[in-house]
Structure 1
Amino acid sequence: MDTWHLLLAAILLILLPFLVVFGAGDSRRRRLPPGPPSLPLIGSTVWLTNSLADAVPLLRRLIARHGPVVSLRVGSTRLLVFVADRRLAHAALVERGAALADRPSLTSTTLLGENDNLISRASYGATWRLLRRNLVSEMLHPSRVRLFSPARSWVRRVLIEKLRESGDSGAVVGTFQYAMFCLLVLMCFGERLDEPAVRAVAAAQRDALLYMSSKMAVFAFFPAITRHVFRRRLLTAHALRRRQKELFLPLINARRKFKKSHGGGVAGGEARKETTFEHSYVDTLLDIRLPDADSVNVGDRALTDDEMVNLCSEFLNAGTDTTSTALQWIMAELVKNPSIQSKLHDEINSKITTTTGADIDGEVTEEDTHNMPYLKAVILEGLRKHPPGHMVLPHKAAEEIEIGGYVIPKGTTVNFMVAEMGRDEKEWEKPMEFIPERFLAGGDGEGVDVTGSKGIRMMPFGVGRRICAGLNIAMLHLEYFVANMVREFEWKEVAGDEVDFAEKTEFTTVMAKPLRARLVPRRT
């Protein structure tokens, strides 16, 4: 037993003479979703043997026992509800979107002295709308996305070179992660950093991400006690945040200086360095003015350094970990299914640009991928079967609502089981098989809409008002890099080291046994 379970056991022994099943009568009276029995202070009894940070296997068991809507309690007051049915998800997130557009606050955020001024964490209101609108219009608008086409082409060359260098080792996951960080660091800070600098940023990001997602959930339980018992975790979290700040602030300040000297961040006036890009996410953050009731000029507060660092960290996490995870799963399926890989390679070769000079370095261009339906089907099938996040980010009920005939009280945290919907055997034929053809004409996934606006079949990016703002650029990156990797190499299993599709929960759901592949160059 680890320290957490020892602490719970000690509290349970102290309370044993007074314990009664908690909340059962309330559940019957108010028709709350079913779930395991609860105890005062602790909440659901399952926390005595399970961790909140790795709840997916537990939830699958509860859904199999109770149905598609289940509940858990954390402590005496916090109620968590989980929904695994696509129709109920559509009714809740799309038909009644405003009621679940808010986010629950995290105790760990408060303990770290941070605020929720992030797109992923901000309450549904003016600050969230401002931050999201800035991201969508200034970074994700098609005109802005096209600005970064040279960056994607550069990263493609980096990726292919690193894969060639991997030789017979077969290790590719680290290469995927490094390539995605090269791209997102450039987009974020407007500077093409050298390899040691990119790897330093990547290490700081992953260390913080994995620690926060695996070690901080304990503070959801009676924080007045756990903040002292697990004080070393808070100290470690603070140290990880300081490391991010040490790396990010010089880059932010350099961009501030560049923006000032180049009139808004667009190249002009004096020459810029070859490695300096004309636009970046930091440029847009420097222009933001947040509403601030404590300011003399309400609505005219610049972002603080800490807020800038956290927003940059959010931007990097959103575009690197999820994309590299999806790439790993998709390429693993292509390794395991050589006939599918061969069919995809045939489509790529038949569609690539053949005009003079366009194919000089073997690139499958972004324009080429627009006319590759089988490539799109492969990507969609990868996201259906292996969504990087098996649950979306949690929602909070802004008012009392009903889901599946159950009452969801105001303030309840509600989450949705993404993987269960994409693998539902009632909705998909042979859901645990990798069949891209299902997304072509006549397949059971033909015409599927990943935004879920008309109906949910799969929701790897979430749906409703808090849908992932980067959906389109994520699809672009997956299509572009998969197409280029398949054109450049034939991906084969390593003898004696076959692909294993067992899962492991980190920040995303990754392969428990990281993908290794033997890469055979297709072009000489």
Structure 2
Amino acid sequence: MANVDASQWLMLLLAFLVALFILLSLRGGGERKCGGRGRVPPGPLAVPVLGTLLWLSHSSADLEPLLRRLVARYGPVVSLRVGSHLSIFVADRRVAHAALVARGAALADRPEVTRALLGENGNTITRGNYGPTWRLLRRNLVAETLHPSRARAAFAPARSWARRALVDGLVGGGAVLADAFRHAMFCLLVLMCFGEWLDEAAVRAIGDAQHGWLLHYATKMKVFAFCPAVTKHIFRGRIQTSLALRRRQKELFMPLISARRERKNQLVERAVPEKETTTFEHSYADTLLDIKLPEDGGDRALTDDEMVRLCSEFLDAGTDTMSTTLQWIMAELVKNPTIQSKLHDEIKSKTSDDHDEITEDDTHKMPYLKAVILEGLRKHPPGHFALPHKAAEDMEVGGYLIPKGATVNFMVAEMGRDEREWENPMQFMPERFLPGGDGEGVDVTGSKGIRMMPFGVGRRICAGLNTAMLHLEYFVANMVWEFEWREIAGEEVDFAEKLEFTTVMAKPLRAQLVRRRMN
């Protein structure tokens, strides 16, 4: 038995549980009611202990096609069980609105098994539970760093630098477009997070640490959703790897955070020169130094570990989502030269030739640009599912019972591509968001009704929504202003999808870029 690996141990465990099922097979067969009102959403047969066998036989990459088949069979709200845990998937926009807006407070928590396994207290914005600490952290991010006035003014030089770096990388050729997009977005987020112009080696080191953590978390930690009391022993090596990756982040982040703390102290003492060539006046890390958490009847500062996790979250949230969306939009413009030409005409008409760049003020005057961005987010949301929610109490939504503790997932891509709501949903048509189109007046916040929800909806809506729209408009406009994007002869743009941390192009975009402007 000494040579039995982890996967074999898991199979032995499953065999034992199947045997146990024989003893329990007559228990819990009926659907649970909520005071005689609703029933748990339908789904495939679930067996005690093991849950839905379909779940066990499909990988994460196969989950979305499986759910489409289940929705076609059972309806727009379906249930799957992982062991004894219930997961509910919502593909209907009206049910989603009733759950996330009308009953949003009861569905604002996050399911998170790995927090306890890694010894983390959950004090982050994306994965923390709803409550005073979460509200404080989110309010700090939105008001102090992502507020529109701050994002436009304080970080305009960072955006301009990232734009120049991206243009130079694309002019040089040889770079994979997806890598160029991601590196530019990451450089921008590092500047916003730590407030310092870092050299390429330092940025690459932080990027490697972030990517390593994200890849491990996304691919290796999902196993703990199944019977964590057992799997934490079978896969304890994965927990140790997670802890090591967190330590590496801390090694890289804390010197930068400490430098901001020292700078803050010097400012108080008026010891910092008026002009600094490598340092921003404001950074996200600065705001973390001032936070006082309302705990145990008093206030306390964030620990080093908490600041590291919040900075890591900041970098994760804005890098892959932005670079993925940018690649999808540019791929559509390559494939649809008429749309690209119309967008370029609008840009030229709103900008003088002597400009060095398209500014945020310029983009406000470009309705077709905004329509292109919205159409990209509708057809190609970077996350095909919103981050999962957890029911804090039994609740009835749309005639269905969502039991307390159930995980609720919202199928973002299905809503944005619903042929009952959108004309030719798989066709890229920015005009649908102009007056007279079927998307006219769409509100991506979903407060009055959900047609598409690329940023989520309700209390847990993406805190960076406004900044994301600003960045997408800025970079798409400048990329079309600088280059004509053409399809490479013999290399047709392929819109097949692949699940990584976000839903990316299975065949990364390659394009022939023709310089429109010579600087």
Q: Smaller-chain TM-score range?
A: over 0.9
What is the CA distance between 1:495 and its match in structure 2?
Answer: 2.6
Amino acid at match of 2:289: L
Of residues 492-501 and 418-427 in structure 1, the stretch that sits farther from structure 2 once superposed is 492-501
- The aligned residue for residue 46 of structure 2 is 38
- One-letter amino acid of the structure 2 residue matched with residue 413 of structure 1: T
Residue 52 of structure 1: CA displacement? 5.2
- Cα distance in 1 between the residues matched to 2:13 and 2:384: 27
Alignment partners' CA distance in 2, 1:243 and 1:49: 34
Alpha-carbon distance, 1:19 to partner: 5.2
The count of residues paired between Structure 1 and Structure 2 equals 509
The whole-number CA distance in structure 2 between the counterparts of 1:417 and 1:2 is: 32
**Deviation sequence 1:126-159 (CA, Å, 0-9, x none):** 0011001101110112221121111111111111
Cross-structure match for 1:136: 142
Gaps of 5+ in 2: none
Read off the aligned partner of 1:90 and give its amino acid letter.
H
- Contact 1:80/1:412, CA 8 A, preserved across alignment: yes
The 8 Å contact of residues 21 and 47 in structure 2, kept in 1 or not, is answered as no
What amino acid is the match of 1:194?
A: D
CA distance in 2, matches of 1:21, 1:181: 54
Give the AA of the match of 1:35.
G
Corresponding position of 2:286: 283
Instruction: Give, in angstroms, the shift of residue 86 of structure 1.
Output: 0.6
The answer (yes or no) to whether the contact 1:52–1:218 under 8 Å persists in 2 is no
**Aligned pair in 2 of structure 1 residues 15, 326: CA closer, same or farther (>3 Å)?**
same
User: Is 2:392 the partner of 1:395?
Assistant: no
Mean Cα deviation higher: 485-494 or 469-478: 485-494
2:372 aligned residue: 378
- Could you tell me how far 1:12 is from its partner in structure 2? 4.6
Give 1:14 shift.
3.7
Aligned 8 A contact 1:81 1:414 in 2: yes
Which one-letter code corresponds to 1:135 in the other structure?
A: L
Q: For 1:36 and 1:47, how far apart are their aligned partners in 2? A: 10
Task: Show the counterpart of 1:292.
Answer: 295
- Deviation sequence 1:438-464 (CA, Å, 0-9, x none): 001111001110011111110000111
Paired letter, 2:331 = A
Q: Secondary structure at the match of 1:71?
A: strand
- Residues 407 and 269 of structure 1: CA distance in aligned 2, closer, same or farther (over 3 Å): same
Q: Give the conservation status (yes or no) of the 8 Å contact 1:22–1:37.
A: no
Distance 2:434 2:490 in 1: 34
Asked if 1:241 corresponds to 2:246, the answer is yes
CA distance in 2, matches of 1:180, 1:27: 47
Instruction: Flag the 1:407–1:427 CA change in 2: closer, same or farther, 3 A.
Output: same
Whether 1:213 aligns to 2:218 is yes
Query: Aligned match of 1:67 in 65, 75, 81?
Result: 75
Q: Distance in 1 between matches of 2:295 and 2:62?
A: 37
C-alpha deviations, 1:344-386, integer Å up to 9, x for none? 11111111146xxx61x3x111111000011000000000000
1:158 correspondence with 2:157: no
Mapped pair 1:87 → 2:86: no
17-26 or 404-413: bigger deviation: 17-26
Deviation at 1:13, TM superposition (A): 4.7
**Separation in structure 1 between the aligned mates of residue 271 and residue 349 of structure 2, nearest angstrom:** 41
Deviation at 1:469, TM superposition (A): 1.1
- In 2, are the aligned partners of 1:182 and 1:192 still within 8 Å (CA)? no
SS at match of 2:44: coil
Q: Is the 8 A contact 2:423 2:438 kept in 1?
A: yes
Q: CA deviation at 1:202?
A: 1.4
Taking the aligned partners of 1:335 and 1:351, their CA distance within structure 2 comes to 22
Residues 504 and 512 in structure 1, CA contact (< 8 A), matched pair in contact too: yes
TM-score if structure 1 supplies the norm length?
Answer: 0.93
Displacement over 6 Å in runs of 4+:
none
SS at structure 1 position matched to 2:392? coil
Q: Does residue 108 of the first structure (1) align with residue 102 of the second (2)?
A: no
Q: 1:5-56: per-residue Cα shift (whole Å, max 9, x none)?
A: 7356434554364352664313478611101111222211113302357522
Q: Shift in Å at residue 484 of structure 1?
A: 0.4
Describe the SS at the equivalent of 1:25: coil
Aligned to 1:231: 236
- Higher mean alpha-carbon deviation, 1-10 vs 186-195, is at 1-10
Task: Quote how far apart the aligned CAs of 1:272 are.
Answer: 5.2
Partner of 1:177: 182
1:56 to 46, 52, 64: 64
Which range moved further: 372-381 or 91-100?
A: 91-100
SS in 2 for 1:462: coil
CA contact (8 A) 2:486 2:511 kept: yes
RMSD: 2.0
Residue 421 (structure 2) aligns with: 427
Q: Does 1:514 align with 2:499?
A: no
Corresponding residue of 2:398: 404
Q: Which moved more, 1:49-58 or 1:14-23?
A: 14-23
Structure 2 distance, partners of 1:54, 1:215, is 16
Unaligned runs of 5+ in 1: none
> Quick check: 1:21–1:39 contact (8 Å CA) kept in 2?
no
Alpha-carbon distance in structure 1 between the residues aligned to 2:217 and 2:12: 20
For 2:428, what is the secondary structure of its paired residue? Answer: coil
SS for the counterpart of 1:70 is: strand
Quick one: distance in 2 between partners of 1:268 and 1:346? 50
CA distance in 1, matches of 2:39, 2:21: 28
Moved more, 111-120 or 269-278: 269-278
Say whether 1:3 aligns with 2:11: no
**Whole-angstrom CA distance in 2 between matches of 1:329 and 1:7:** 43
Give the equivalent residue in structure 2 for 1:321: 320
One-letter amino acid matched to 1:150: P
- Cα distance between partner residues in 1 of 2:260 and 2:81: 46
Instruction: Determine whether 1:222 maps to 2:216.
Output: no
**Which residue number corresponds to residue 483 of structure 2?**
489
SS at match of 1:24: coil
Structure 2 vs 1, CA of residues 140 and 249 (structure 1 numbering), >3 Å: closer, same or farther?
Answer: same
After superposing the two structures, state which structure 1 stretch, 134-143 or 309-318, moved more.
Answer: 134-143
User: Any idea what the Cα deviations from partners look like across 1:312-333, whole Å, max 9, x if unmatched?
Assistant: 0111111111101100110111
Q: 2:198 aligns with which of 193, 214, 231?
A: 193
Q: Is the 8 A contact 2:432 2:440 kept in 1?
A: yes
